[in-house]
Amino acid sequence: MCCKTCNTVLLFFRFCAEPTVGCIRHSELITVSWADFEFLYYGFIIFDIRSCPATDRQGVKKIREILAFTIVERFKKGFFMITNYQINGFQAAGLAAGIKKDRKKDLGLLLAAAPIPTAGVFTRNRVQAAPVILDRQRIRSGLCRAIIVNSGNANCCTGEKGIRDATDMAKAVADHLKIPEDQVLVASTGVIGQPLPIVAIANAVPELINACRPAGLADFAEAIMTTDTVPKLVREAGTIDGKQFQVIGIAKGAGMIRPDMATLLGFVVSDIKAPADVLKPALQAAVDASLNRITIDGDTSTNDTVLLMANGTAGVQPTARAHKAEFQRVLDSVLLQLARLLVKDGEGVTKLVEIKVTGAQTAQDARAVADTIAHSNLVKTAFFGEDANWGRLIAAAGRAGVRLDPDRIDIYFDDVQMVANGTGLGQQAEDRATAILKQPEFTVTLDLNAGTGEASVITCDFSVDYVKINADYRS
């Protein structure tokens, strides 16, 4: 449900005599029924309890049940809205095919009007899911027309049947669209080791294709979620020779996430005109600067896939070096925003933390130290407990396998220095650092004072909820 004036998903809700919704940019309100509440899955929701009749107060509880998580949690994570993004020449859809037990959306389709240049980056885990194996073969052509994605089942470690199922999943789309099978790519995410319910997926394909529409990216984003609590969708625009182009990115991932193509699915569409051999290095560079420097739990997935499609409808072609740099800038921005959203919505996450290491002898040394700290369970539990335990930071740095002098290390929490030359600066500094740790996002900086190398990794805390979520993931 979108605002007719600005085409933005309606953002706020309030109780009057009847339930009403409206766009935050305009004052006009629209009366809706209780049955319409589910669309607020994407909305920024405000409850004005003081002004609503007592009989409507039960609606607060009802909405929370529909959303499946509290309004407070959404505010805490910092998610507000998803705009009705679209690019000319692309359509998308998402629906429930019956893969997930809760009947939530679990099958999505991203569709181009014709075969278009496509590039991909995949997991480096040696255990690779059937759709990854299939896509690695098909992406060599550099062209793609459609991407079908399921959630709830990874189709990994499923043997030859898994390969056949992935192939049949693509074939179902190709047959209905009357296009070559090798123009359809496949992605899956969910539980490893279980057979893919290919019959349910194939039966849902005709409805899925019929549901495709230019404004369907939000439905697609919802359909690829697993333990994510919100869809992730980011748009950026750039300009080349006075002409504007767009890049829209969609991603999912909340657990089993670490660098080395962080564990996730990502799909990027653009109206720029570029062949696959231009898209591939641009995508790899953007992934290395974003999705390859995040971690939630240190586990690398078997299904990681990021695909970039470009249809050229903007009439913009990045040929000159400056043009390619502008496209790279926009692509980098989209993937970095998605990377931060993935960590922010990680399983049980309450803190998003950037670990920044400066003054290393080399950039590789800085990255090794940042990675070691970002993956330390002791560091991450201290973040959750809002404990400025800098000893855990310096201890992790010391086992990163690089040469450093502990007596030269400085440590900062945002702009608060807590350690100078390897020695704590006292209770007052610790109190100020503890106040920083109470924020939902902050930066921890270690200056090794040994050179000019620097690197950063985005990580999170390790909470009780992460354990609960993963203790019964399959059930």
Contact of 326 with 238, CB cutoff 8 Å: yes
d(CA 83, CA 231): 11
Active site residue 263: yes
SS3 171: helix
Helices 377-384 and 363-375 cross at an angle (nearest 10°) of: 60
3-28 residues labelled b (16+ CB within 10 A) or e (exposed): beeeebbbbbbbbeeebbbbbbeeee
Contact of 123 with 291, CB cutoff 8 Å: no
Residues 6+ apart with CB under 8 A from 175: none
Contact of 356 with 445, CB cutoff 8 Å: yes
**The tokens of 362 are what?**
């080399």
Helices 390-398 and 377-384 cross at an angle (nearest 10°) of: 160
Q: Please state, in angstroms and as integers, the Cα–Cα distance from residue 322 to each residue in 235, 310, 327, 329, following that order.
A: 21, 19, 9, 10
Contact of 366 with 358, CB cutoff 8 Å: yes
- The amino acid that residue 415 corresponds to is D
Catalytic residue among 118, 189, 263, 300: 263
Please choose, from the candidates 190, 247, 257, 258, the residue with its C-alpha nearest in 3D space to the C-alpha of residue 224. Answer: 190
Q: Write the DSSP string, 37-95.
A: GGGGGGS-----GGGS-GGGTHHHHHHHHHHSS-HHHHHHHT---------TTEEEEEE
What sections of 415-463 are H helices per DSSP? 427-437
d(CA 62, CA 36): 12
Catalytic residues: 263
